[in-house]
Structure 1
Amino acid sequence: MKKSNKGAETNGPRPPKQKRKITVRSVANTIAIVFLSLALIGCVSVFFMLSSIISSAPEVTMNSLKGKDSTQLYDDAGNTFSSLGEEQRESVDYEDLPQSLIDAFLAIEDSRYFKHNGFDLPRFISSGINNLTTGSLSQGGSTLTMQAVDNAVFAEMDDNVGSMEKIKRKIQEIWLSMEIENELSKKEIIELYLNKINFGGPARGIQKGSEYYFGKDASQLTLSESAFLAGVINAPNLYNPYSGYSIDENGTATNFYENAVKRRDETLDMMEYHGYISETECALAKSTKLAFQLNGSSGFVSNPYLAYIDQVEKEVKELTGKDMYTTPMRVYTSMNRELQEYYSEMQSGNHINFPDGDSDMQFGSALLNNQTGEIVALLGGRGDAVYAGYRNNRAIENTHQLGSSVKPLIDYVLTFEKLGYATSHIYHDGPRKFGNDPNIIHNASGQWTGDITTSDAVGRSLNGPAIEAMMDVLDKIGQEELIKHMAAIGYEIPADSFNMNYAIGGEEMISTPLQLAGAYQIFANKGVYIEPHAVKKVELMDGSGDVYETEVKKTQVVSEESAWLMSQLLNEATSSRFSNLLQILQSSYPVYAKSGTSDYGEDGLAYNIPAQAMKDKWIAAYTSEYTIATWAGYDSIDYNHYFTVYKMNVNVPGQVNHLMLDKVAEVFGTPAAITRPSGVTQITHVKGKYPYASVPEGTPSDMITTGWINTKYAKLETLSADPLEALQSFKIEETDTDNVYKLSFSAYPDAEKLKPGSHTQQIEFSGGTITGNVFYDPRLLYGEVVYKIDISQNNTVLNSYTYTSENAEQTITGTPGETYNVCGYYSYKNTSEGKSNEICYKVTLPKTSDPGEEETPSNPDQTLPPTNNTDDDD
């Protein structure tokens, strides 16, 4: 019988266990199993992650692809004046687009467009490898469909997000693109894409882009034009040929026209590369001058409000953080439709006369409501500058040196505010230098006046008095406080760049018309600065109910009294006694104004521009209700870009301001004069004397003046003659003639005071000497310094004698044998005030001698002993 193995295993001893042999193949299998397990787990994780990202993707609708609801802009009457999105776009059907245009976009943006499903994986991988190789993200690998989704959904989202959020958005963009391709045809997608994209300037969509650049319908575009439009969307501002040539604040030059041509040619090269055009067609299109094809901007159909819309766009972005072109909203503004349209007529060539043959002269202007700081209307410039989105809106963007228009703002008004000056204050107009600068500050006329009233200094726009005013203010409050004042009226000046030339609008004292109007409205607004603003309120149209209201910022920068005092001078500046081009502003209502010019210095010589030729012309003007500031000049330096006397007299800023203020009066009613505050009073004082002094009896009429002053400073001193220098010596000697004495005074140390008074002075400078005015010369009131003696007896002055020289002879009459007190001193000719000390002698007149009797001299040495007195006592 056979033994049971089972029984043997169970009950018998266990045989030794055989060792397992490990091979390379088994290790590989194990690793593979582990890897596959991890991969499976990873795939599951990735699947759930992708599912989460895709499920949270924004919704894409036909409305969002075509364009969302338009942003509505409302004027000051609450009426809609613009629907952004409608006016920038005009849809074109795919069938109406030339094949060259479709080919250009495919060549430069998505050559495999008709082959992929919305996501071009090979191109995406190629772009990724290129970015890793170059270390940049210059190639995005986006298809046209992905770009359409990005424009519709992601463009308005915050770009300041981390890498993971950007990856998430890209995944969602790819997913949505593939979804759209399942719903829409390729032709429908490219049609939607082309009708929405930004072509630069005000052009949104292919039809507006075609009109803006070439003045034609999109269906008529040539190969060269199609290539340009396909290329410009990559960087509309950089490739806009209308932008010309510019140099930024760092000195970097940009030729926008050359950029545009280069980008067009790159597109043509890509079209040839992908086989859309032949080599010959490419070369022929490149040879076409883009400048000859550009024919759209000046004739581009626009509306009169776009210069204003530029400002609204800036404020909306600051207020809400959103772009009103991509985020639908209701924007309530302070724009007056009638006045904005009137500005638009001016910038279109109506109402204003420009210098003949000068098509390059430009202008910009801003109109404000004084009491609210609201921007009522804006003028951006002649021609293409008026379009929204264009980089050269001269009302709000371009800055220029202010010249003399700054003087009321930072010089004169502060003398009223900080120093208590009156409007009748006298300044000295003469040559001045700053520090180690060898150059002399001149007036525009090249002459100096000497003493001058504040009214004349402002009306004639003289530089010396303005500088003196700022120096007086700086002595009182210091540079730091002056810089704070400048910031309070809208001009931020770094402390380390402060320059005394700011007093006359030089160096970096630059401004836009809007800034200047904002600063000037303080004079009509009781000294209160209100930051200019166009937007009142913004309501989002996304259903959130979010409302943003502009917080109006008000700052009391000077007192109401100081503001009114400045206004009196600016009103007088428009009077007919001046020839400063402000007379054009005279109307049936009071107008207050100041002009300003700046020059090229030596910078224009290379362009055959005369040295010191004017480059900028400003006029700021206001009524009690509204303020306007207008600049005229040139965008760039060139051989004919300066003001001749003829161009200056055409007075473009004066025309604009006068016409607009009259139009304002027509729309809102005739303005009254600015009301004089109770804290202002009138004083009559000696002209040219400071501190101000009351008028002494007998003062000549040409030395008396009257002015307005803040009542708290209306304190007049009692005028008295300045004390004269001490008399050092005085001698009296007998002569051979009876009763005739020789007088000798020590010469007065200040020879000028011995000369008669004058209303003129000699002003010396490196080029020679000129004659200037003198208003206050104490010699005209008190007389020049003279030498005097008083002859007295018993404390009674019997006779006084005056001499113009320190040596004289005098006959002393009296009773023979009597003794008299003779005192010599310095004095003013017309008054005894301020006279010097006296040196006195006792003089005894000789007795009458009998015939033959010898007379004994009263002083054998012929010199009488002095007694020093300061009065007439013996």
Structure 2
Amino acid sequence: MFGGRGNGERREPVLSTPGFRSELRLTSEDRPTLDSAPMARERGASRTGAAAKAGKGSGNGGSGRAAGNRQGSSRAATGGGGRGTARPSGGGGGGRGGRPRRGRFGRLIYWGFVLCIWGGIGLAGLIAYEASQLPPIQNLAIPERPPTVTIKGVDGTTIATRGEMGGASVPLRALPPYLPQAFVAIEDRRFYSHFGLDPLGLARAMFVNITTGRLREGGSTLTQQLAKNLFLTQERTISRKIQELILSIWLETKYSKNQILELYVNRVYFGAGAYGVEAAAQRYFGKSARQLTLSESAMLAGLVKSPSALAPTHNLDGAQARAAIVLGAMEDADFISPEMEKTALAHPATLAKGRGPDSTGYAADWVMDRLKAAIGPIDHDLVVETTLDPSLETVASDALKTTLDKDGKKYGVEQGAVVLMDTNGGVKALVGGKSYEESQFNRAVTAKRQPGSAFKPFVYLTALERGLTPETVREDAPIQIKGWKPENYSHKYRGPVELKTALAFSLNTVAVRLAMEVGPAEVIKTAHRLGITSKLEPNASIALGTSEVSVLELVGAYAPFANGGVGITPHVIERVRDASGKVIYSYDQPSRGMVMAPPHVAMMNRMMRETLLVGTARHADLPGWPAGGKTGTSQDYRDAWFVGYTGRFVAGVWLGNDDSSPTKRAGGSGLPVTIWSEVMRAAHKGLPVVQLPGTGTYQPGDLPPGDVSDEPMVTSEPQPSDGHKPATIDNWLLDKLFGRG
């Protein structure tokens, strides 16, 4: 069957049929090169012809093999997949030359598809995880609106809103149509067409943020903002944003567009502590949201972008500029006509008179402090009826601010406080600083300052209670106590003087003699009995007011002089009602009883009335009303006081600097008396005159008129200097105690 070896030559094995030998052996012609495809086709054709001839002489078997060869030759000639296929130099057909280019593109599509799948799976997992951190959707509900505390004055008008300051909810149909339209125009133009997420708005925000290189726009819809306000914190994280999207879609499926918009305008923050359009309308414009004008509505809509920075109570220009942008957006959205826009721009919104924070801010904050102490946690809407008189609150605030604006720089005074109360302790006005917007620190309630000579009435009362009288004589002469030598401001001494003269002219040596005579501890007991609550140091300098007190407590401690000796507790809340009108708290005015015997009340009022008639407060201006009081100036003129009273009201004024730096000779007999006079004239306007308890008509000659006051006087012109350090005995004492000079 196989051919043998002959003549030493290697023989390929062949089949027994001779005709197949040449057909199965590979020759060099059967190994094509890159440029031999045409020749290969010609050779293939000739071999096919030769095979056909061979087949004819070989019988049936030969024909079958020839047919097989023809098929093979045909595949080779047409570029098929056989081993003898010629490789074309171009990129056509199924040759290998085109695969690399198509392979890279195909792999890019493939891996992109794979990444999309895995990214989708990851995103779905992240959303599922964040959703699991939220309460079950079936249990979600719109949380209750934060409680609102409405603070009303004695006349029934609303003077402030506190707590979370969520105003009463107003139905969308009750609002002017341009009010909700303003929010849609400036915050979410496609609100009525999206499903809670606005892809176009989000894409625009991303583009702006990328091109500007900073986070300027968030792309949040009104629904997303509502979801954040209702359920989430204000933190900026991916986690919070995903939860916001989930909740937005839930809101869109559960509520109609108008319901969502109604919830939004009644919950969004408008600055200055106001949540909801009703609270904001009352806060800024003194009216209901139902009555807002177009320009006012545009201002409110503009505030939500940056409520703290744009609040018109301290940035009216910024709020008006933003409102103009809102009006332009409303006109562009065809919500208003060009004529309406033009009219609104010509009459921009302004704050209602007296609605700025400076008129009631400090008093409202104090009301909230007292409210929590009276009823505990606030978990529902409340109406607080107070003793505050809005008109007197405005007078006190304006008097302080006007005086400091006019003369504050001249006398080196930056701050002040005013408290006005009736003789039962009901606070009518409380101003804790020049500007509530600039500083919320309440200098009338929280700050503790040295009262100086304004503390001396407690020293004199203690002496009267031990048998002395206004006519008792004590020596106004140099005195030394363990090395301490207190002296009068004028460095002059009058010799023997009556106590009424010594108090009226604030003679320091006499006050110190009395304090040492009765004992500093007894003076402190008297002060605490009348209403001082601060800690007082039992030393000789207590007579000169070196222990610190607040304006509120000092004014309250003077009230027994005005009401006949009854101890009072300063208070501001009369009644508290819930939303249904039910009274849940009422101040019962518990009396602290008699803290001063009537004869001593009469004697003290005779003495302190002289202060206003011929003494350090003789520039007080309250025509027709008998009044008493005492000025006070602390060391280096750091604090200037005047506390005065009538049978109707007690008022106290403090001026100074927050850092306790010295003023420029601002004494108690100057600016404080001026402010006190303005406030008290307003408080007594139209009221019948009431005498001070136990006093009669002043008789000229009781005290030498025109005598030089020992209390520093402040006039419109600087006082001449005698070359000595312009300080009271308080300054001298502290210098000795602490080694100053």
TM-score (norm 2): 0.53
1:593 and 1:622 in contact (8 A); partners too = yes
Alignment partner, residue 558 of structure 1? 596
In the alignment, is residue 595 of structure 1 matched against residue 631 of structure 2?
yes
- The equivalent position to 2:473 in structure 1, one of 399, 408, 426, is 426
Give the CA deviation at 1:627. Answer: 0.8
In the alignment, is residue 549 of structure 1 matched against residue 590 of structure 2?
no
2:453 and 2:545 in contact (8 A); partners too = yes
User: 1:682-722: CA deviations, max 9, x gaps?
Assistant: xxxxxxxxxxxxxxxxxxxxxxxxxxxxxxxxxxxxxxxxx
- The equivalent position to 2:491 in structure 1, one of 443, 446, 456, is 446
In the alignment, is residue 659 of structure 1 matched against residue 696 of structure 2?
no
- The equivalent position to 2:548 in structure 1, one of 500, 505, 509, is 509
Name stretches of at least 5 consecutive residues in structure 2 with no aligned partner: 1-131, 170-178, 189-200, 235-242, 286-295, 316-350, 697-741
Change (3 A) 1:456 1:586: farther
- After the TM superposition, which residues 23-42 of structure 1 pair with which residues of structure 2 at under 5 Å, given as runs? none
Alignment partner, residue 507 of structure 2? 462
- After the TM superposition, which residues 215-614 of structure 1 pair with which residues of structure 2 at under 5 Å, given as runs? 217=299, 301-302=356-357, 304-323=359-378, 327-347=380-400, 349=402, 354=407, 361-370=414-423, 372-382=424-434, 384-385=435-436, 391-409=440-458, 411-417=459-465, 419-433=466-480, 435=482, 438-474=483-519, 479=521, 482-494=523-535, 497-506=537-546, 508-512=547-551, 514-541=552-579, 543=580, 545=582, 547-555=584-592, 556-576=594-614, 578=615, 580-585=616-621, 587-599=623-635, 612=636, 614=637
Q: Distance in 1 between matches of 2:582 and 2:216?
A: 39
Secondary structure of 2:396's match? helix
Name stretches of at least 5 consecutive residues in structure 1 with no aligned partner: 1-46, 119-142, 153-171, 234-239, 243-295, 600-611, 678-874
Q: Distance in 2 between matches of 1:492 and 1:429?
A: 31
Change (3 A) 1:347 1:450: closer
Give the CA deviation at 1:642. Answer: 0.7
Higher relative contact order (CA 8 A, sep 6+): 2
Give the CA deviation at 1:95. Answer: 3.6
User: 1:669-689: CA deviations, max 9, x gaps?
Assistant: 222342359xxxxxxxxxxxx
Alignment partner, residue 763 of structure 1? none
Give the CA deviation at 1:633. Answer: 2.0
Change (3 A) 1:651 1:327: farther
Give the CA deviation at 1:416. Answer: 1.4
Alignment partner, residue 253 of structure 1? none
Change (3 A) 1:588 1:399: same
Change (3 A) 1:405 1:517: same
User: 1:447-505: CA deviations, max 9, x gaps?
Assistant: 4444322112111112222122222222xxx83x654443333333448x544322211
1:585 and 1:591 in contact (8 A); partners too = no
- After the TM superposition, which residues 132-211 of structure 1 pair with which residues of structure 2 at under 5 Å, given as runs? 145=227, 147-149=229-231, 180=251, 182-183=253-254, 196=267
1:523 and 1:563 in contact (8 A); partners too = yes
Q: Distance in 1 between matches of 2:538 and 2:530?
A: 16
In the alignment, is residue 643 of structure 1 matched against residue 643 of structure 2?
no
Change (3 A) 1:520 1:54: farther
2:400 and 2:675 in contact (8 A); partners too = no
Q: Distance in 2 between matches of 1:439 and 1:102?
A: 73
User: 1:181-229: CA deviations, max 9, x gaps?
Assistant: 64369999799679757687656579979999xx9957778xxx97895
Q: Distance in 1 between matches of 2:271 and 2:484?
A: 46
1:334 and 1:536 in contact (8 A); partners too = yes
Alignment partner, residue 674 of structure 1? 693
Amino acid at match of 1:557: V
Amino acid at match of 1:414: T
Change (3 A) 1:300 1:78: closer
Pick the structure with more helix per residue.
2
Give the CA deviation at 1:402. Answer: 0.5
Q: Distance in 2 between matches of 1:208 and 1:74?
A: 16
Q: Distance in 1 between matches of 2:461 and 2:157?
A: 40
Give the CA deviation at 1:376. Answer: 1.6
Q: Distance in 2 between matches of 1:315 and 1:194?
A: 31
Amino acid at match of 1:622: Y
Q: Distance in 1 between matches of 2:262 and 2:484?
A: 65
1:145 and 1:189 in contact (8 A); partners too = no
1:665 and 1:671 in contact (8 A); partners too = no
User: 1:378-427: CA deviations, max 9, x gaps?
Assistant: 23333x2279xx52233333332100001102x0111112x111111122
Change (3 A) 1:184 1:498: farther
Q: Distance in 2 between matches of 1:424 and 1:198?
A: 64
Q: Distance in 2 between matches of 1:648 and 1:173?
A: 59
Q: Distance in 2 between matches of 1:193 and 1:498?
A: 60
Amino acid at match of 1:378: L
Q: Distance in 2 between matches of 1:88 and 1:466?
A: 57
Alignment partner, residue 75 of structure 1? 153
Secondary structure of 1:659's match? helix
Q: Distance in 2 between matches of 1:581 and 1:429?
A: 21
Change (3 A) 1:78 1:448: same
Q: Distance in 1 between matches of 2:271 and 2:463?
A: 49
Q: Distance in 1 between matches of 2:232 and 2:583?
A: 24
Alignment partner, residue 142 of structure 2? 60
- Percentage identity across paired residues of the two chains: 21
Amino acid at match of 2:487: H
Moved over 6 A (4+): 86-92, 98-105, 107-115, 172-178, 185-195, 197-200, 205-212, 218-221, 225-228
1:582 and 1:593 in contact (8 A); partners too = no
Alignment partner, residue 736 of structure 1? none
Pick the structure with more strand per residue.
1
Change (3 A) 1:416 1:352: farther
Amino acid at match of 1:148: L
1:528 and 1:557 in contact (8 A); partners too = yes
Change (3 A) 1:226 1:349: same
Give the CA deviation at 1:659. Answer: 2.2
Change (3 A) 1:80 1:114: closer
Give the CA deviation at 1:149. Answer: 3.5
Q: Distance in 1 between matches of 2:454 and 2:560?
A: 14
Amino acid at match of 2:446: E
1:502 and 1:509 in contact (8 A); partners too = no
Q: Distance in 2 between matches of 1:553 and 1:532?
A: 11
Q: Distance in 1 between matches of 2:502 and 2:479?
A: 15
TM-score (norm 1): 0.46
Q: Distance in 2 between matches of 1:587 and 1:488?
A: 32
Amino acid at match of 1:656: I
- Please tell me the root mean square deviation across aligned C-alpha atoms, in Å: 5.3
Change (3 A) 1:381 1:467: same
